[in-house]
Amino acid sequence: MPSRILCLFLCAAGLVIAAPPAVRAQDAADGAADVAEPVETSHAITLDDGTTLAYTARAGFLPLRDESGELLARVFHVAYTLEGADDPASRPVTFVFNGGPGSSSVWLHLGAAGPMRVAMTDEGEAPTPPGRLIVNEGTWLAATDLVFIDPVGTGYSRPAEGHEQSEFSGLENDARSVAEFIRLWTTRHGRWASPKFLAGESYGTTRAAALARRLQSAHNLYLNGVVLISSILDFGTARFDTGNDLPYALFLPTYTATAWTHGRLPEDLQSGPLEAALAESRAFALGDYWLALARGASLTAADRARVARRLARLTGLDAEYIEQANLRVSIGRFTKQLRRDERRTVGRLDSRFLGIDRDAAGESFEYDPSLAAISGAYAAALNEYVRRALGFESDLPYEILTGRVRPWPWGRDSDQGYVNVAEDLRAAMTRNPHMRVHIASGYYDLATPFFATEYTVDHLGLEPELRGNISMSYYESGHMMYIHEPSLRQLRRRVERFIAGAVAAGSPVESIP
């Protein structure tokens, strides 16, 4: 390791007092970056409760090789380790990644868990460009060291010369390479004695479930816990395909939450708390609505009209429109239709956001306004941060959310039409009954809806004594719930309690309100 560079101190307002000299990492294509050690810098932040966290950051590549020594890929990562720990070797460490597929870890890194975050407005939107960083009051660093991983093809991570992206894309290849990174990082940094956790968001939760099983089977690396943020394990719950009626029922409560936050529900639901509207929507979704979908053409005209009226009540849409859609309103249609009368669309990742399309009569929105609102801020902040604060440079483009990983082979030969890693999670929990899982969901997330997650958990097939190893929390925000500051702070408290409970040997699982 290079000598430690005292580089950056931050006050509670997030001001840079001193910055490190830049240490250049050669482009991955020139073959030199695989031998360069990550850049090491020292930092401190002060949280608004007066707590000061001093930590070391290491940013750079970790080379993946086969057993013959051939270089396969370089994986960019940023690791944060708290200074002053009594026993660093036994301190918890969490490996963090996002999803996509094709997403870097920037969202959880600079939005939720890292020591710095992108500044957002009070409404949870990015401020005027460019994005800027402030101290993250929601950082998980007090509870766990953090390693943010950019899987091959994302961020600065690339295949080595002579190797193709296809070797690292797809469920099995992705899990294999990320598991090897975790094994190698754990070995090089002497962390086999540490309690180990995974944290993934979106498709990163799919990766996390597959990894939990692979780390056990391939490396005998057993986890203490897994944090799933905006989870999707069974893709059959979210694919609006002909013949697959399940998503129509499972998305309904999120449609209800969205209509509630936009003031589109009838007065008796609109004037009450969100939870009351959701309780009615949940019951109807897997009750009369599910039975109506199952009946198909045998549904009588009177029952069809009754179901349409109930759906109109719970979605804010017109009953006639719902009947024309055969009682099946896909996500694309809902995001376009809810506020079509105002020539506005609602977001997919976060349905609180509004967009404006050129064609108000279109079938679906032209872009996701909730992604557009934050992408530029995160990209600007990341590119500035890694150079000025972390001292890492590369001329490679940092792939925030890329198509570089395409085509992405979905699933396994054993999958029956849809990717489903719920069985991986069940198997990992059964073989390691000490492993706990916490699932965080946003009410306004139309990408990975919370009710679909509940359905998946209810169908894991866990034995009764293991069901208590799973806890869940909910947020009045979207897919990236941490862009909403109250949700960011709630998520931190819940993650800290989850990690503490998972580390405490033999302690009972606490409810996480």
The predicted-structure confidence for 101-143, as pLDDT tens digits, reads as follows: 999 999 999 999 999 999 988 776 777 888 899 999 999 999 9
Query: What pLDDT score was predicted for residue 13?
Result: 30
Query: What pLDDT score was predicted for residue 35?
Result: 54
Asked whether residue 322 is domain-assigned, the answer is: no
The stretches of 78-134 forming alpha helices (DSSP H) are: 106-108
Cα–Cα distance measured from residue 510 to residue 513, given in angstroms and rounded to the nearest whole number: 9
Around Cβ 17, how many Cβ atoms within 10 Å? 10
For 184-203, what is each residue's pLDDT tens digit?
999 999 999 999 999 999 99
Cα–Cα distance measured from residue 181 to residue 62, given in angstroms and rounded to the nearest whole number: 8
CA 225 to centroid of chain Cα atoms: 16
Asked whether residue 353 is domain-assigned, the answer is: no
Give the residue from 246, 208, 308, 151 showing the smallest Cα distance to 451: 246
Asked whether residue 406 is domain-assigned, the answer is: yes
- What is the CATH classification number for the domain harbouring 141? 3.40.50
Which residue ranges of the chain lie beneath pLDDT 70?
A: 1-35, 124, 414-415, 505-513
Asked whether residue 363 is domain-assigned, the answer is: no
Question: What is the number of domains present in the chain?
Answer: 1
Asked whether residue 446 is domain-assigned, the answer is: no
Q: Percent of the chain at pLDDT above 70?
A: 90
Asked whether residue 370 is domain-assigned, the answer is: no
Give the residue from 202, 293, 297 showing the smallest Cα distance to 249: 293
Q: Indicate the angle between helix axes 288-295 and 301-315, nearest 10 degrees.
A: 140
Give the structural domain span for 67: 5-236+376-424+431-441+486-503
Asked whether residue 312 is domain-assigned, the answer is: no
| Residue 178 exposure: Cα atoms within 13 Å on the Cβ side | 35
The stretches of 62-127 forming alpha helices (DSSP H) are: 106-108
Tokens of 76: 């960019």
Tokens of 263: 């003031």
Whether this prediction's pTM lies above 0.75 is answered by yes
Cα–Cα distance measured from residue 69 to residue 35, given in angstroms and rounded to the nearest whole number: 13
Asked whether residue 57 is domain-assigned, the answer is: yes
